Structure 1
Amino acid sequence: MMVRVQYEDFDAGAEISRLRLADPGIGAVATFIGQVRDVNDGDTVGTLTLEHYPGMTEKSLAAIVEKARTRWNFHDALVIHRIGTLNPLDQIVLVAVAGRHRGECFAACEFIMDYLKTEAPFWKKEHTPQGERWVDARSSDDTARQRWEQ
């Protein structure tokens, strides 16, 4: 398992290839790539600044992946999350899960992303023509995570 929090962009294709080629028993890789939108809540977003709590954030992400591993049998997982100031269309996050079969990879990838959105210590500030504003947690993210607890 690899977890990285970084300012730099990532090459999703290269990262996925490294994960995919790590073991000949891998039959599937499920991925999610999140990127900055240019509009949120009806307002134009010029840039998005992501802050985190160093050390705690990486531990939180690793714990989320381990929680997924207790539910699904997959070979490996990768989570890369960017911080700093990003522009619309910039990549924010990559979650990739590699395993023998697609079902467990899809489920684990979605689980990791749902928990990341609600439990990882990241703070987002949007810069709009109306000024700066912190992005509030969405109830839809909480609902998505809660379905895994049933």
Structure 2
Amino acid sequence: MKGVSAVIAIVLILMITVALAAMSYVWFTNIFETLTESGTSAIDRTGQQLQASFSIESARYLSGNSTSVSIRNTGITTIDLDDVAFYLNGIPSSVISGPTGSLTEGQFTTTAFIIENNTEAMCPGPATLRSTIAEGYQQTVTVSCS
């Protein structure tokens, strides 16, 4: 007999088929686990963003290069005041002084944030003030120099 017998050929084909099926199973299992984990973390992040919200209660230009901003927590989770960021016309504004700690649900900042203005971005016309928190929520208001 020359060549490979039919029985050996069938056994080899079956072994290759089983090996391919096992490799496919492992690959698909890993893909589905990865998709499930990334989907779960995206849902968790979205839930946190939906729970965290605030409103800018007042924003007014002060003399010189500063603006006073007060916010209220309108969400159902606590907001860390160290994570609040401000932007005037898209330019980051540093906080000169302001409240520390956190805001619980419905709480209002009794001490206003005093933020540094970029005078060129602020005057002569109205400026767009955007405030963000770590969870990704943001609010925008218009502030004028007068």
Give the structure-2-normalised TM-score: 0.28
Bigger Rg, structure 1 or 2: 2
- Greater RCO (CA < 8 Å, at least 6 residues apart): 1
